[in-house]
A and B are shown apart, each in its own frame.
Chain A
Amino acid sequence: MLKQTEGSAAVAEAVALCRPEVICAYPISPQTHIVEALGRMVTAGRLAPCEFINVESEFAAMSVAIGASAAGVRAYTATASQGLLFMAEAVYNAAGLGLPIVMTVANRAIGAPINIWNDHSDALSQRDCGWIQLFAEDNQEALDLHIQAFRLAEELSLPVMVCMDGYILTHAYEQVDLPTQEQVDAYLPPYEPRQVLDPASPISIGAMVGPEAFMEVRYLAHAKQKQALELMPSWTDEFKRIFGRESGGLTHTYRIEDADTVVVALGSVLGTIKDTIDGMREQGVRIGALGITCFRPWPTVAVRRALADAKRIVVLEKSLAVGLGGIVSNNVAASYAGSPDLVHTVIAGLGGRAITRASLHQMFGQAVEGRLEPVTFLDLDHAAVERVLAREREQRRSGPIAESILRDLGVVGARIG
């Protein structure tokens, strides 16, 4: 059913159609609309039997999900930013225990300075936690990925994080195709746990593992994640047959057939990138894009194949490995058969800084002409940075950096460009 709706509402509908049994909620922007919508459905009895638990922290949210999942029911929660960091210990634990929890991460920057707007710092900080991480490009994909996430999680007995850009997707009203309960039921079988806390058959879960077996347990986590690289593409036909549209898979390519320059990115910024590419194609520039849907496990083969003929690569990422440069670009470089010097890192959109078509056009142009630096910060206000550095040279007590920059900028209102 086609419906004009908010991204968060669409995701809540998708989760509801997956028949969750325990939902844990702790408020943090920008994921709150999702759990609010689910809470309303539980209260109305639409999801019965389903428990909606308002917990006291994100750490508790993930812990309640761990208990529920280990006791054999389908568990879901959502978070973002500081919340994801606050639950980090339990996030690793859920993966280590092999519990198929599904969690939405409404991607948001991490402080300090505190910032509620979108980038990918939160999810990418957890890239090695053992969760499968899927990134949605638009609200339809966010909706679809949640349905696929439950199936993938339960098939592999691994938790899955569905990442969608905070505000840009969560709060955007778009048309989505909402599936029916029958469609979702046909795709997602009832949860059959691999391990369950059951008095009829007592087991111990979470024992200490020493050097004699820890390596093997960790290897199996790696091997199991890699199984997703085969499962996800193999399910796309089935998904299309049931839902009538293509969705999911590991990566998406856009006009890369004869592209000399390929732009790699995650999430909603791919829309702007594609528009920019269309414009440049009209001018005869051979440029295309590679969207990473499945960030963990990293789709090495698919990325290598997509980049096989590229002469230069621009990795546009909304995250920063401080002191190094890019996070995604390091993954890309490791999958690129050519010289790593040809992989350019562009840090963009941190803390919600708008990524405009004009800026992309200019930067892609520099890349095509071979003038792009190895690491570029898109639309960085160099003057503002220089003022802070100068002040620090001049006086010892130069004050807090964030506040200094804001004072220098003055009242600017919402800066779009």
Chain B
Amino acid sequence: MTYQPIRFYQTGTFTVGNRLLPDDQRSVQANMRRTNSLNSGHRACQGCGEALGARYAIDAAMEATNRQLVAANATGCLEVFSTPYPETSWQIPWIHSLFGNAAAVATGIAAAMRVKGRDDVRVVAQGGDGGTNDIGFGCLSGMFERNDDVLYICYDNEGYMNTGVQRSSATPPAARTNTTMPLGESAGNRFGQGKYLPAIAMAHDIPYVATATVAELHDLEAKVRRAMEFRGARYIHILVPCPLGWGHGSAETIKIARLAKETGLFPVLEAEGGKLTNVSKIKKKLPVEEYLRPQQRFAHLFRDPPRRDVIDRIQQMADRNILRYRLLEDVERRA
């Protein structure tokens, strides 16, 4: 990848030093010419990770495409909070059709652009984890398999937040949602086999797959830019904490996202053509408890007596990620 890794840590903090970078590597959001594709005034909750991720991702995509961008949006929080007509926050051509078809609608737009000879116009589809992992999975897999020229962005807040916090197949084990309540012996969402969509995307051998969190927005922007250097199906999966559904403070969204990465629960990686090409290292490995404890959706694990058994199983998931994706080892970054 062309992005030059820079250590943003200054005396042990996570402060981003944008001014330390050459112009072409500075964040899109730092540029006065950013498009504000998802403009202010929308109705997302305070501290919404999805709104943050979408603003950075789409502005970066706009910059990468010289503002020749069309977006298809699945039903969900992002769609609802951005377009309470007559107000719309979208400063780009944008269409919402259904919950489960954003990838297919985007395929149609991309096909139309090819027919019109508008190869310069690029297409983004976006949705939450419900619209991606669950109800939109068939259309997404079809778009991947045909290698349609679409960048699909999943804003993963690990549940159906728009309908009032219900479980999705992206909801982590033990998490409380309104359909996985920790009642009796139950510790919230049951442990299943998981449905890690980035790996499923990679299994389609599509040109580019990446994960990111809203804790590392520079990294997110770089990945969107990188995605736009490819033609064909691309997938970016962004972890976007949800203060409402996860039960953490509105000011803690970025901290929680960072903890998801630093514990190993959410691997941040890149893959090209189905092969892993880059993994963001964990800076300081933290126990999963650090991530779980600040979130009300895991509060039942920390009552008296605490559910050490459940916490241990979640730790095992993190450890497995660390091994599988070598999150702690030094691997050569792809030049």
The chain A residues found within 8 Å of chain B, CB to CB, are: 21-22, 24, 49-51, 53-57, 59-60, 63-73, 75, 89-90, 93, 97, 197-199, 201-210, 213
Contacts and interface: CB of A to CB of B under 8 A. Distances in A.
Contacts of B91: 202
Contacts of B88: 204, 207
Nearest to A60: B104
A356 to B, nearest CB: 43
Contacts of B107: 53, 55, 60, 63-64, 67
A93 B98 CA distance: 7
A198 B70 CA distance: 7
A49 B121 CA distance: 17
A22 B93 contact: no
A144 B1 CA distance: 55
10 contacts: A49-B115, A51-B112, A63-B101, A64-B104, A64-B107, A71-B109, A71-B113, A90-B98, A206-B97, A208-B84
Nearest to A64: B108
A90 B101 contact: yes
Contacts of A197: 70, 93-95, 109
Contacts of B72: 67
Contact of B108 (A69, A89, A202, A205): A69
A281 to B, nearest CB: 51
Contacts of A209: 85
A276 to B, nearest CB: 45
Given A63-B108, A197-B95, A204-B95, 18 more contacts: A22-B112, A49-B115, A53-B108, A56-B145, A57-B138, A64-B107, A67-B105, A67-B109, A68-B108, A69-B112, A70-B108, A72-B112, A199-B92, A199-B93, A204-B83, A206-B96, A206-B97, A207-B88
Nearest to B90: A204
Interface string B119-146: 0010000000000000000110110011
A68 B112 contact: yes
A203 B93 contact: yes
Contacts of A50: 115
A180 B304 CA distance: 82
B104 A202 contact: no
B111 A53 contact: yes
B111 A63 contact: no
Of the candidates B68, B69, B97, B106, the one having the most CB atoms from chain A within 10 angstroms of its own CB is B97
B80 interface: yes
B13 to A, nearest CB: 39
A51 B109 CA distance: 11
B255 interface: no
Given A71-B70, A202-B93, A56 B101 contact: no
Contacts of A75: 108, 112
Contacts of A57: 138-139, 142
A205 B108 CA distance: 15
Given A56-B142, A60-B138, A69-B108, A207 B84 contact: yes
A64 B104 CA distance: 5
Contact of A199 (B80, B105, B121): B121
A18 to B, nearest CB: 14
A201 B90 CA distance: 12
A199 B95 contact: no
A202 B97 contact: no
B109 A60 contact: no
Interface in B45-73: 67-70, 72-73
A64 B105 contact: yes
Given A56-B141, A207-B88, A66 B111 contact: no
A60 B101 contact: yes
Contacts of A203: 93-94
A91 B263 CA distance: 45
Given A71-B109, A73-B112, A208-B84, A63 B97 contact: yes
Nearest to B66: A199
Given A63-B139, A199-B70, A208-B85, A71 B94 contact: no
A42 to B, nearest CB: 11
Contacts of A55: 104, 107, 142
B116 interface: yes
A207 B90 CA distance: 11
Contacts of B111: 22, 51, 53, 64, 67-68, 73
Closest 9 A-B residue pairs measured CB to CB? A67-B108, A206-B96, A56-B142, A71-B112, A63-B104, A63-B101, A67-B105, A68-B108, A207-B85
A53 B109 contact: no
Contacts of A63: 97-98, 101, 104-105, 107-108, 139
Interface in B199-248: none
A205 B95 contact: yes
B172 interface: no
A311 B106 CA distance: 55
Contacts of B68: 199
Contacts of B96: 204-207
Nearest to A197: B93
A57 B116 CA distance: 25
Contact of B101 (A66, A202, A204, A210): A66
Contacts of A198: 93
A82 B142 CA distance: 19
A72 B110 CA distance: 11
A370 to B, nearest CB: 51
A372 B107 CA distance: 53
A205 B115 contact: no
A333 B240 CA distance: 56
Of the candidates B83, B92, B94, B109, the one having the most CB atoms from chain A within 10 angstroms of its own CB is B109
Nearest to B108: A67
Given A56-B141, A66-B97, A202 B90 contact: yes
A66 B108 contact: yes
A59 B100 contact: yes
A374 B68 CA distance: 62
